[in-house]
Chain A
Amino acid sequence: MKTLHKNLIRIFLGASVFLGIAYAADWPQFRGPGGSAVSEEQNLPLKWSTSEGILWKTPLKGRGLSCPVVAGGRLFLTSSSNYKESRLHVMAFDPEKGSKLWERQFNATGNTNCHPKTNMAAPTPATDGQRIFALFACADVAALDRDGNLLWYRSLALDYPDITNMVGMASSPVLWKDVLIIPMDNAGDSFVLGIDANTGKNLWKFNRPRTINWSSPLVIPNTSGSAEVILQTDGSVLSVDALTGKENWALASAGPSTIPSPTAGEGLLLAPGKETLVLSPSAGNKVPAPQWKSNKLVGGYASPLVYKGKVYGLSSIGLNVFDAKDGKEVAQVRMKGPFSGSPIIAGNHLYLVNEEGSTFVVSLGEKIELIATNEIKDTIQCTPAVSGGKIFLRSDSNLYCIGSK
């Protein structure tokens, strides 16, 4: 019986690897595992340049602000190309070699107008290693399996013709179990959809204010077998049940804004913006209790993160660090922006990339200090991904893997 039990465990573990079930080292969505921007990876590269430390560099078709996602031994990426950004690309790469495994293309079915700095591949896709869900700024959603087989396709612009954002949408989807959460806050018909990841059909639709919003949802699993979908926009942060789409709680506040995304960690929920709110989630569907707030976490495009008792976020001078308990500022590290991407932490180091392609590496030991500035002189407007001991950077025209064999 014990042998059978052991065998079952082996089968399960084997199947987990084979099926590519997400594990700690994966980077499956915008800002990594659980949207935390923190990876459990250790011993990641600290120094590199255009001439050393780059394991591979692959030229990309089209542009994109979406981040690479890595799971199940594959790296997935989106881009858009052509006149008026009308061509949409979903690609899979071998993260070890950088070779492209497959590419699928689609034509935008929604409006492709946007600010010149962005494009249709602004939202980061979500994956569980078995499936990849790519949302584009024109409100097209493509679901594919890891081998590039199309599972389903939705044109939300045709389903909801009043969707409109002439600046360009950028909020990223999140996958929770078999529910794909699609944010669609815009100047027209605004909502968040819970979509059946297997069929592409709506499970629920939660109506939102008709306001442009680039913030991405955060999913926090709860003890009742469901999860809270945290949504923020200018003037509010709220929670929706991931299974039903029903509102759990809502908090009106002038603090949260429309660009950075909420994050959670160590029992805290952060709603960043003009005045970042740090909340302590309550049991049940109660509104979380405010712990502290700060106007020194105004990161522009960047979202903050929580790690080992501290909150890290950007301000106009660079990195600001706060004690997570009381919001007391404990460190500042000057860095040269501008930053379109957000900081991430892995191996007790914080990584932050500016738009010129310089990655600042900050040691998070006893002393919080900048230990390296790694330049690759390429335009980068997104957040790095970390997996398998490697760092993946996506520029306007290339995909880089920083690491060694």
Chain B
Amino acid sequence: MRIIALFLAMVVCLGTNALAWVQESTGNVSKILEPIRKVGKNGLGNVDAQKAWKQIANLSPSELPEVLAAMDASQPVISNWLRSAINAIVEKAGRESKTLPLDKITALVKDTSKPALGRKLAFEILQAADNDKAQALIPSFTNDPSAELRREAIALLIEEASSQKKGKKDNEAKATFRKAFMSASDKDQVDTIAKELKGLGETVDLPAHFGFVRTWYLVGPFDNTKNKGFDLPYPPEKEVKLDASYDGKEGSIKWVDVTTEDSYGIVDLNKVLGKKKDSTAYAFTRINSPADGIVYVRAGCITSLKIFHDGKQIFARDEYHHGMSMDQHSAPIHLKKGVNDILLKICQNNQTESWAQKWEFQVRLTDFAGVKIPYTIVKQEGSAK
């Protein structure tokens, strides 16, 4: 009885540290994570998660792999609770000169079935603790499902190829750059590699590499005076009929087809539809997918944009002339095997500044990590030319 009383007194005196120790000793990390997993929108679950966070932060370093494996990109807020707690565990281990379970952490990095976020953080912990061991893993990330780990491998390949080029070993450099190009997905790395390959006399097909949709049917202008067109569902939002004529802003309008030759799949509406202000245009494409799955529609657009998949709106952003960059917008869709329709609504406002005249967009289809997915364009017969 005295022993129990003493133990309880210790728990009271040591506070959460002692409680964490008690929980840790059960090995039930999953249970400690529960309140964090219940965190929701608008601050839901924050108070309970706050207590759980301290317990996680006080876990033994030996529990790191389990906490790392719980980080999942599909739950970004929960992952941030865990990431910061992992930072605390590692810092504390450093202060107390405790050993990190580097073998288990390495195994987690290598296990591509585990969530990418946790594996990348595991890699960073390994890098800080044993950089040589971490560096040795990098070449294996060339086709890793984690975009962040793959980026490490591509950077290494670029370095290797640059060194080969500097040593006048052009054929080796071409092969290494080509290997890097095949796996790269981040724009800055792809651009660097493409420039080097072109300099070495090689050809590169950037739109194909990125998976840009190059062929579109366009119709416009519809009215967008006072930016009201963004929320006005013009006929193409109800049904796409490529042989239809519509009452447009300046008279009757028809669909026209266009295939962009731009390296980054940019479709310039000013060129196809004429330089219009206070206007709305639609772009339509039909693709054939060889498989079912979650796919990301990634778009760049300098003006307001809506995206529809098979008639359902999946993205809307009402913002004009604040910059355009590849993949600045992203929306997941469930692409079905076979035919899928993608419709865009691209609005232009009435700003007169020279930098506010562009009216253009680019769209590509990728997996979660930003790698293009396979698809073919379904050419529509009988459409207006």
Contacts and interface: CB of A to CB of B under 8 A. Distances in A.
13 contacts: A114-B323, A142-B80, A148-B88, A150-B84, A150-B85, A153-B84, A154-B77, A158-B41, A164-B318, A167-B323, A199-B43, A201-B42, A202-B43
Interface of B: 39, 41-43, 46-47, 49-50, 53-54, 57, 76-77, 79-81, 83-85, 87-88, 91, 117, 148, 151, 186, 188, 316-320, 322-325, 328-329
Given A111-B328, A113-B323, A166-B323, A155 B76 contact: yes
B77 A150 contact: no
Interface of A: 82-83, 102-107, 109, 111, 113-115, 140, 142, 144, 148-155, 158-159, 162, 164-167, 187-188, 195-196, 199-202, 210, 212
Given A103-B87, A153-B77, A201 B43 contact: yes
A212 B323 CA distance: 13
A83 B46 contact: no
A187 B76 contact: no
A153 B75 CA distance: 13
Nearest to A104: B84
Nearest to A90: B84
A144 B41 CA distance: 19
Contacts of B81: 150, 153
Contacts of A82: 148
Contacts of B320: 187
A195 B39 CA distance: 17
B317 A150 contact: no
A106 B43 contact: no
B76 to A, nearest CB: 4
Given A140-B80, A164-B318, 8 more contacts: A105-B84, A106-B80, A109-B80, A149-B88, A162-B317, A162-B318, A166-B324, A187-B319
A165 B42 CA distance: 21
Contacts of B57: 149
Contacts of A144: 84
B322 A212 contact: yes
B96 to A, nearest CB: 14
B238 to A, nearest CB: 23
Given A111-B328, A165-B322, A166-B322, A199 B80 contact: no
A388 B186 CA distance: 45
Q: Counting chain B CB atoms within 10 Å of each CB, which of A148, A200, A210 scores highest?
A: A200
Nearest to B188: A83
A52 to B, nearest CB: 34
Contact of B77 (A83, A158, A166): A158
A155 B77 contact: yes
Contacts of B77: 109, 153-155, 158
Contacts, number: 113
B46 A102 contact: no
A152 to B, nearest CB: 4
B54 A149 contact: yes
B46 A153 contact: yes
Contacts of A111: 328-329
A104 B121 CA distance: 12
A104 B57 CA distance: 12
A102 B91 contact: yes
Contacts of B325: 113
Q: Counting chain B CB atoms within 10 Å of each CB, which of A82, A109, A144, A149 scores highest?
A: A149
Given A153-B46, A200-B43, A115 B323 contact: yes
A18 B144 CA distance: 49
Contacts of A159: 41-42
Contacts of B148: 82-83
Contacts of B46: 151-153, 199-201
Nearest to A149: B54
A104 B148 CA distance: 19
A167 B322 contact: yes
Contacts of A212: 322
Contacts of B87: 102-105, 148
A107 B323 contact: no
B302 to A, nearest CB: 9
Given A83-B186, A104-B84, A105-B84, A154 B319 contact: no
B323 A106 contact: no
A28 to B, nearest CB: 22
Nearest to B41: A159
A162 B329 CA distance: 12
Contact of A187 (B53, B83, B117, B318): B318
A158 B81 CA distance: 15
B80 A107 contact: yes
**9 tightest A-B CB contacts, nearest first:** A166-B322, A201-B43, A152-B46, A200-B43, A187-B319, A104-B84, A109-B76, A106-B80, A200-B46
Contacts of B41: 158-159
Given A103-B87, A199-B47, A164 B53 contact: no
A188 B227 CA distance: 13
Contacts of A164: 317-319
Q: Counting chain B CB atoms within 10 Å of each CB, which of A114, A115, A150, A159 scores highest?
A: A150
A154 B43 contact: yes
A165 B318 CA distance: 10
A113 B76 contact: no
A113 B84 CA distance: 23
Contact of A149 (B47, B53, B83, B117): B53
A137 B39 CA distance: 22
A345 B77 CA distance: 40
Nearest to B121: A105
B318 A106 contact: no
